[in-house]
Chain A
Amino acid sequence: MKERLRKLVCTLAAASMVMGALTGCGGKEETAQATESKNLTAEEVIKIAAESGQVGNWGLGNEYEVMALLSKYDLPTDFLSQDFTMDGFDDNSILLASAMTYNELGLVQNDYDGGYGYGDEIGVIDMNDEGVAMLEDNIFCTKTFAQENPETVAAFLYASFKGWKYAVENPEEAAEICYEYGSSVSPEHQKYMATEVAKLISTNTKGESVSDIGYMDEEAMQQTLDIAKQYVSLDDAAANEAFQALTLDDIRDTSFYDAAVASDGTFNVEKKEVSIQLKWLPDAQFMGYYVALDKGYYEEVGFENVDIVSGGGDIAETTAVNNGTVDFGVTWETNLASADASGMDLVEIAQIFQKSGLVLVYKPENF
């Protein structure tokens, strides 16, 4: 009996090992050899990481700058899916990891709670320097909503800009305000985020300083759309054709920005209760809205209630705005363009981030 059972167990174990071996037939690749030289150029670093297939990005619409960068150096545009931590970078499974200057970069460098504490040891490749910057956080709503509520839209922009202006000038206070409104990160990191976000608001892709909050820079928007057209391929043939045919005039309307800037702060608001859908969890990335809410700027222009709706990894902010769940939203230009191409009715009304906040980080000792 025992003999028989043992044989059975052995056979089955052998069978499962064979199966395991069969699934494991994929070729193993050598990892990049560590070299002594630490004076590699960005191009060399990108090439080494891409050739060993260890470039990371979150995907889900965040990947186009990385794809543009890879093809700038004639490299394959594949990347690994990065989760919302920097563990992959930490354990070297991702050699060249994506990071936002105002969030992941701080976690990698700093050693406060939740940080990895690498300090200045790491190398950073900036999308703005590489000429593949795409514009990120904006404010958008549906074309129908904008047409029917022009005063509401202008008033919302006016108050939000005021909030952003205050936040950029007082990042520490803005960070504290964000923390009070249900923060997803520690107070120290919140402060780091506020300082870094302020830089994105007040400098453009070329490094020049910008004083007009919400300004829609023609050239930067066009560059974003051009890169998007090159790398976004929608599987829906009709949508893809519509995407390739998009022009800036289809996806942005500067008239509300102009009205907000020209206004003296009095509006005849049509809709007194509005909401805005964030692209991510509540933190200093959206400090302008929290400051405007906290300081009562929205009330000053005639709103009775403004609801700031938290987002997350799988929140489709474009859908939430398009189906009327919320009135305004924060998204990236590319996401808005691809949503419009597949039939949504969205329009960008202000550009909050004036330059790309995406960087690639690496540990020099791995190259």
Chain B
Amino acid sequence: MEYEVKLEKVGRKKSLSQRIKENKTWQKASTIVLPLIFGIVLVGLWQTEVLHSWFHTDTFTLPLINKIGGIMGDISDKILENTIATVEVAFFGLVIGSVLGYLIAMLAALYPKIGSGGLSVIGAFASIPVVAMAPVLNNWTKDVSTDANLRSMVSKIIVVTLICAADMGLNAYRGLTELKPFSEDLMAIYGAPKKITLWKLRIPNSIPYVFTALKVSVPASIMTAIVSEYFAEYITGVGRAIRENIVLAQYSTAWAYIATACLIGVVAYVVLMVLQSILLRRYH
């Protein structure tokens, strides 16, 4: 009898907020609702110019959202053209860089004598600022083609490649080498040759690390593509459009391109997350 009473008392003590906190449905919903509320509040503050008074700026340098949206609609053709140019560079750089990085990691894991040096080299490359690397590569790729568009593309892709290769190389190396101790022993007990250990153990073990690397290098590839467009010989891309418009004091148009850059980043990240959830299903 007494026992039951106690339970009831405990139940009554729970406040409304506590009960909401413990509600499973709310816990799930809150991961969507809270960021959404934050976003709506931010948009509200922006559109009502409260943000402008906080940061002591004006609607000229920080145009209102409806104005930015209007311009994005008006010049959607141009934006699409520039977006394609930027995404191409980011995508090819990401793919080539990631493959290269993974290969170097594999070399380092299998033949530490040759490969570990490679890891340090790409690590060093990645620490060169893009603003220093882009103009240099621009000059190095002058002989690639007589077509300025093509040689600019090549130089931009190389910059993105170097950045992405380092991310992938360093992460994949951990995935290929940091194995669960018993699994390595197990393979040894079975007398598995090196290549079987590679295919059945090392490579599967590295897949989650590959995605960790991609989570960093996907946004980085887009950022790098945008920055290297600043220096490219051939005038195209979202980054170049942002620069041109800011220098000409066309902030509304510049913001339209900044918004585009954000959209590219978000879409690329969502695509990556979807891919990850499909490919890594058996790990969870």
Contact = CB atoms under 8 A, between A and B. Distances in A.
Contact of B78 (A4, A19, A83, A235): A235
A87 B248 CA distance: 26
A319 B250 CA distance: 10
Given A23-B92, A80-B148, A236-B253, A316 B247 contact: yes
A81 B232 contact: yes
Given A5-B195, A80-B148, A91 B154 contact: no
A93 interface: yes
A91 B142 contact: yes
Interface in A23-58: 23-24, 26-31, 53-54
Interface string A233-255: 01111010000000000000000
A319 B249 contact: yes
Interface string B42-81: 0000000000000000101100000000010011001000
Contacts of A239: 250, 252-253
Nearest to A343: B60
A20 B243 CA distance: 28
Interface stretch (B8-16, B95-103, B179-187, B264-272): B95-103
A26 B249 contact: no
A88 B195 CA distance: 50
Interface in A188-236: 234-236
Interface in B79-127: 88, 92, 95-96, 99-100, 103, 110
A16 interface: yes
B115 to A, nearest CB: 12
Contacts of A20: 96
Main SS at interface, chain B: helix
Most buried by A among B95, B100, B249: B249
Contact of A15 (B99, B154, B193, B249): B99
B240 to A, nearest CB: 8
B276 interface: no
A28 B248 CA distance: 33
Interface string A41-82: 000000000000110000111000000000000000001110
B221 to A, nearest CB: 15
Given A12-B99, A19-B96, A83-B135, A316 B246 contact: yes
Nearest to A9: B103
B218 interface: no
A24 B250 CA distance: 34
A234 B240 CA distance: 15
Contacts of B240: 81
A354 interface: no
Contacts of B154: 23-24
A235 B139 contact: no
Contact of A59 (B99, B150, B235): B235
Contact of B234 (A29, A81, A318, A339): A81
Contacts of B61: 319, 323
B187 to A, nearest CB: 14
B140 to A, nearest CB: 11
A329 to B, nearest CB: 11
A29 B250 contact: no
A83 B231 CA distance: 7
Given A12-B103, A81-B235, A19 B250 contact: no
A183 interface: no
Nearest to A24: B150
A318 B103 contact: no
B162 to A, nearest CB: 14
Contact of B243 (A53, A60, A235): A60
B145 interface: yes
A235 B76 CA distance: 10
A344 B61 CA distance: 10
A144 to B, nearest CB: 13
A342 interface: yes
A55 to B, nearest CB: 11
Given A4-B195, A26-B149, A323-B61, A338 B142 contact: no
A87 B139 contact: yes
Interface string A305-339: 00000000010101100110000000000010011
A330 B232 CA distance: 27
Contacts of A319: 61, 249
Interface of A: 1, 4-5, 9, 12, 15-16, 19-20, 23-24, 26-31, 53-54, 59-61, 79-81, 83, 87-88, 91, 93, 234-237, 239, 314, 316, 318-319, 322-323, 335, 338-339, 342-344
In order of increasing CB-CB distance, the 3 nearest A-B pairs are: A339-B249, A1-B195, A235-B253
18 contacts: A9-B103, A15-B99, A23-B153, A28-B145, A60-B243, A60-B248, A83-B135, A235-B256, A236-B74, A239-B253, A314-B246, A314-B247, A316-B249, A319-B61, A323-B58, A335-B249, A338-B250, A342-B249
